Structure 1
């Protein structure tokens, strides 16, 4: 006889959200604002996922923040831009819904939560010379957040940035603060900023394991966590998704495993998957990623494709027809003497600057080095001469190292020996000698350098058009005329640094509609199953239009998911009007 004394469900909520990155946290927060009973489950012991280690930029066109910043933007212009970038690859309905909802999402978060964003006055779209492109206004950034507001316990729950990006063992710095910290005596403004930042950090370390002044992705995660605590949303850590529970084809809940063992959770309005996409899932990486891009991943190790795998097992389908299954970042790898590998993402601080070129494993240039990190790697992956088991190399002269950062080699440093001994930086007096050290044909590399230098004398790059887009020029050096991205490489010594493809996020993911409903192979929604963030296939279809075009859609689609789920059986729960409003967490004394 069946045991009728044991309840079928261990817990019952309106909305079960799995994964506490930007998408999942936004879904849980908006669900609470809509009056739903929400439970947020996170596999690891910290919130943030990929968001916490990112730059935290959020690409949402047409918001009121762009007007406040003095660079008003419109969704109509953004629609023209996306049509040009994405082309005929599909996803039109999702993008239209994203553009329509984006400004409302930002306004809601700004007015009703602790999420505080500002629009960048200058942060160009990544694909240049397109109709509707913007120079500023679309890229939103979180303002710095005081981690002490969370209290010690919750501050420890915020996943820290990559250790490579922490100064003095635990201090964060925004991009626009790096130069002041490296050159504190260059000006009075630099000294004040550097001194204030370091003194604040010194005080923090008396009580905290790292600095509490949070910026970029860490600030966004902390703002979301603080807001969740204000709304009293339950958050279960170290709780992973095991399987989805279905009844007559509908997803009605999920089986999770946590510190209390396995628990069956009923979700009356739906289950939201936001577990970080493919990330470290070996099977899906081998199925979907090109061979050269499977080795390195920038996501936390706990991101192992749980959401995508469980959805596929429940009848969901993967999206097809993408320009790329991943969004890529060129990364250099420093192997320390203790065996630890440090991975540095080459975002904008070196590749765009004049006096540097990149060559493939045949010793030839293959891309506009000043283009976005994603497009740089796409050039690498598409180069027919690039061997999948070999890196590309960034090459520069000594003048470059004196003026600019190159990976983990900070500009102006006189201590190159540790990097040379580790093999992170390679030095030679001539192009031919450098070629021998990086394993390319000496004649080819010498000719590549000669061809580049010939055109660079005039500030030109007819081969790849370097410096011809607003984004190129913005990230170049304004002191270099006539082209801020181009100058000849001078006499030796020359330096090389190996860079490998790494995925910062997956474009490939679950097929979904404009409300984040997960679809099956016949494009039919699976009732009760939603996805956002990297679990949901990219609405930009594997292209990378601008800064923050993973976080923007993640948060907007999370909002749309909740709006659809809340309306499934009519209006949101009437309990919304009876909820006890949580008082803000106390500020530190």
Structure 2
């Protein structure tokens, strides 16, 4: 249906990821008329492809479990991670208001979380938590979206199993153990049968998990509050009145439409992971922009940043890092394009090792993806390509898979034929096929194996941190993350620089209001998610530091637009946490 020439609302949200939908739902809950516009045909943005985790210290589900942090440990941890003597106003606002955001959505919307009570922070040290600071959306039945399920962006195809999302914790553990445990095999069989039925009836999975469940729950909440959702409606320019953001001109099915927003505009377009010009300006490893390969949707091309700049906003260029780095491998698609597989889990499993072309290790493979890439940047001499190889033995590949190359019972030959997976009967043969220094690789693996057999890694201390151990294999000892690479054949996948999103967004204040060149708020203009400059100043303290701030500041933007200081919650019934 084509839009009229002019639409009117109180709040216009540009972008439909979790952050933008959080702002829309909050504003609509407080009685405002809200329109959300999305440039693509599918709703959800990067959030729909994500793991769906939020980092919210002192969240109400953790408190309900008895995990109560009375001291200032979260503040101390965050200060240490961002290398600051004191938190700035946005960081303080995030820690103070995040629990309130969770309470609001739990009480008043279809958004329901479970507690990651055993998920540790990514780094040990001052103020680090061993659990209780993370949340994930509960699984969601796609049937509850009705016809709108067709508009929800499905999970990333190259990461999912035929489009079926697999949640962390018990769900993933059952898939990893399906060849070892009859109970796990039965669980997996039931999941696959249900998914096959959904594909036949609905042409997509309907048991939604991870970020797909989070977006679906937000979408259901928005629909319940009569939020108007327009897809295939890219914003072309912002409208302003007396220097205030007052709406936008959008293109909808070939026609231009003006949307007038009396209260203001929220930019939530997902940052600039596929804007080559800005990548080249802000990422030293990508001087041409093309050297960076993000796992975010290709439609995230920096629209929000450019729109904000039209009204005098500034993009932060002084962050520690401009993006949320992650190693990716290039997946050849049938249409000739290349997908970007983010290596978030496999590196930490027993039986894996990563080396550069010189055959040497350069980091702790079980550290978080952001740290892994920083180590690769540091280890790569000037003038050389930033690339590495992830290797594993046959046992590890068959149990965990390696990147896009799925584990048993999927054969490896298909991935080899596509030029994605390299295989060698022994390390020498594998090294020769990958262009890795043969002698040095053999020496590296020999040393690694000698210590890994004892559960030790004197070179990089793999498995020493709580995060390393959580990412490893709980059933393997003495070190959940270490095992010698023993029997061939051996496998390898090339890793290249990528990201899960960008950090260098528009400068904002503690209410998500966009700031101008004099650090004054631009009236009626807000930015959330990756359109907002990283609350973590370009650092990566823990899993969920994108969606956590994204939804918190989306909530705060919605409150500000509604003229509310906070959202009253009904605390008659206690919140109950589900164990992950």
Common fold: TM-score over 0.5: yes
What CA distance in whole angstroms lies between the structure 1 residues aligned with 2:553 and 2:520?
Answer: 18
What CA distance in whole angstroms lies between the structure 1 residues aligned with 2:317 and 2:338?
Answer: 34
Structure 2 match to 1:261: 255
Structure 2 match to 1:235: 229
* Contact 2:79–2:85, Cα closer than 8 Å, also in 1: no
* Contact 1:291–1:388, Cα closer than 8 Å, also in 2: no
Structure 2 match to 1:76: 72
The correspondence for 2:212, drawn from 215, 218, 232, is 218
Shift of 1:337: 6.1
What CA distance in whole angstroms lies between the structure 1 residues aligned with 2:100 and 2:57?
Answer: 11
Q: Deviations over 1:168-218 (max 9, x none)?
A: x34333233245346557445324423432333343234211121111111
Q: Secondary structure at the match of 1:542?
A: coil
- State whether structure 2 residue 305 is matched by structure 1 residue 308: yes
Structure 1 match to 2:363: 367
Q: Secondary structure at the match of 2:331?
A: strand
- State whether structure 2 residue 274 is matched by structure 1 residue 280: yes
- State whether structure 2 residue 382 is matched by structure 1 residue 382: no
* Contact 1:61–1:75, Cα closer than 8 Å, also in 2: no
Structure 1 match to 2:329: 332
- Paired residues for 1:147-158 under 5 Å: 147-151=142-146, 153-158=147-152
With structure 1 as the length reference, what TM-score do the two structures score? 0.89
- Against the structure 1 CA distance between its residues 182 and 571, is the aligned structure 2 distance closer, same or farther, given a 3 Å change threshold? closer
The correspondence for 1:133, drawn from 128, 131, 148, is 128
Structure 1 match to 2:195: 201
* Contact 2:155–2:164, Cα closer than 8 Å, also in 1: no
Q: Secondary structure at the match of 2:344?
A: coil
Structure 2 match to 1:465: 461
- Paired residues for 1:112-511 under 5 Å: 112-127=108-123, 129-151=124-146, 153-167=147-161, 169-175=162-168, 176-181=170-175, 184=178, 186-259=180-253, 261-292=255-286, 294-335=291-332, 339-348=336-345, 350-385=346-381, 389=385, 391-413=387-409, 415-490=411-486, 492-511=488-507
What CA distance in whole angstroms lies between the structure 1 residues aligned with 2:461 and 2:368?
Answer: 14
What CA distance in whole angstroms lies between the structure 2 residues aligned with 1:81 and 1:559?
Answer: 24
Q: Which moved more, 1:321-330 or 1:85-94?
A: 85-94
Aligned length: 560
What CA distance in whole angstroms lies between the structure 1 residues aligned with 2:85 and 2:318?
Answer: 6
- Against the structure 1 CA distance between its residues 426 and 87, is the aligned structure 2 distance closer, same or farther, given a 3 Å change threshold? same
Q: Secondary structure at the match of 1:385?
A: coil
What CA distance in whole angstroms lies between the structure 1 residues aligned with 2:83 and 2:452?
Answer: 33
The correspondence for 2:525, drawn from 522, 526, 529, is 529
Q: Secondary structure at the match of 2:201?
A: coil
* Contact 2:246–2:524, Cα closer than 8 Å, also in 1: yes
Flag the structure with larger Rg. 1
Q: Secondary structure at the match of 1:296?
A: coil
Q: Secondary structure at the match of 1:297?
A: coil
- Against the structure 1 CA distance between its residues 555 and 89, is the aligned structure 2 distance closer, same or farther, given a 3 Å change threshold? farther
What CA distance in whole angstroms lies between the structure 2 residues aligned with 1:75 and 1:254?
Answer: 45
Shift of 1:70: 4.6
* Contact 1:75–1:99, Cα closer than 8 Å, also in 2: no
Structure 1 gaps, min length 5:
1-8, 573-589
Q: Deviations over 1:222-251 (max 9, x none)?
A: 101111111011111111111122334332
- State whether structure 2 residue 97 is matched by structure 1 residue 101: yes
- Against the structure 1 CA distance between its residues 377 and 402, is the aligned structure 2 distance closer, same or farther, given a 3 Å change threshold? same
Q: Which moved more, 1:384-393 or 1:354-363?
A: 384-393
* Contact 2:294–2:340, Cα closer than 8 Å, also in 1: no
What CA distance in whole angstroms lies between the structure 2 residues aligned with 1:254 and 1:109?
Answer: 28
- Against the structure 1 CA distance between its residues 78 and 371, is the aligned structure 2 distance closer, same or farther, given a 3 Å change threshold? same
Shift of 1:554: 0.4
- Against the structure 1 CA distance between its residues 344 and 204, is the aligned structure 2 distance closer, same or farther, given a 3 Å change threshold? same
- Against the structure 1 CA distance between its residues 220 and 82, is the aligned structure 2 distance closer, same or farther, given a 3 Å change threshold? same
What CA distance in whole angstroms lies between the structure 1 residues aligned with 2:482 and 2:354?
Answer: 13
Q: Deviations over 1:439-469 (max 9, x none)?
A: 2333332332233234334322222111110
* Contact 2:9–2:259, Cα closer than 8 Å, also in 1: yes
Q: Secondary structure at the match of 2:361?
A: coil
* Contact 1:89–1:541, Cα closer than 8 Å, also in 2: no
CA RMSD of aligned residues (A): 2.5
What CA distance in whole angstroms lies between the structure 1 residues aligned with 2:76 and 2:344?
Answer: 26
What CA distance in whole angstroms lies between the structure 2 residues aligned with 1:71 and 1:189?
Answer: 31
Structure 2 match to 1:578: none
What CA distance in whole angstroms lies between the structure 1 residues aligned with 2:352 and 2:537?
Answer: 31
* Contact 2:177–2:399, Cα closer than 8 Å, also in 1: no
Q: Secondary structure at the match of 1:565?
A: helix
Structure 2 match to 1:546: 542
What CA distance in whole angstroms lies between the structure 2 residues aligned with 1:412 and 1:254?
Answer: 51
- Against the structure 1 CA distance between its residues 442 and 116, is the aligned structure 2 distance closer, same or farther, given a 3 Å change threshold? same
- Against the structure 1 CA distance between its residues 102 and 164, is the aligned structure 2 distance closer, same or farther, given a 3 Å change threshold? same
What CA distance in whole angstroms lies between the structure 1 residues aligned with 2:91 and 2:566?
Answer: 26
